[in-house]
Amino acid sequence: MIESLKKLFSAPETEHHKPDEHQLAIAATALMVQLSRVDSEQDERELQAIIDCAIRAHNLTREEAEDILRTALNQAEDATSLYEFTGQINEALDQDAKQSLLENIWHVALADDRIDKYEEHLIRRIADLLHLNHREFMQARHRAESARS
């Protein structure tokens, strides 16, 4: 018994694995879900924009994107902080990919044709947690706004 306890405590730490594509899709979608809820008016247009962004960003079918949205809705409900999602994203994505994600988040915010002050504040917090600077934040916003026109 003592030998097995010694082995347990002297075992090397397990390797930390980067999140897989499915986990990243859920984390990114969960950030968008958090944004859609911040103004207390989760709009159907925002949910549709989340599905559309997931399809484009992760090369998913509509059914796969809807499944990821359901999972993300549940995880976002249970989340205690944004870091649960941004931590996974920071591990796996480079700056360009994180900026593309932020652009998709802006698409969701713009889906109901208005940017609420709480939405903008949350997007700024997400950008900070993703280690994106103000210039990258603004570029993502401008690209999302240009795509709508």
**Full-model pTM:** 0.83
Distance CA 18, CA 94 (A): 13
78 compared with 28, residue with greater pLDDT: 28
Q: From the CA atom positions of the chain, what is the Rg in Å?
A: 18
Question: In three state form, how does the secondary structure of 53-122 look?
Answer: HHHHHHCCCHHHHHHHHHHHHHHHHHCCCCHHHHHHHHHHCCHHHHHHHHHHHHHHHHCCCCCCHHHHHH
Domains of the chain: 20-148 (1.10.3680.10)
Residue 62 burial (CB count, 10 A): 11
Where residue 17 falls among pLDDT bands split at 50, 70, 90? low
Residue 130 DSSP class: T
CA separation (Å) from 3 to 11, 13, 14, 53? 12, 18, 20, 53
Mean pLDDT of the chain: 87
Helix (H) or strand (E) holding 13: none
43 compared with 3, residue with greater pLDDT: 43
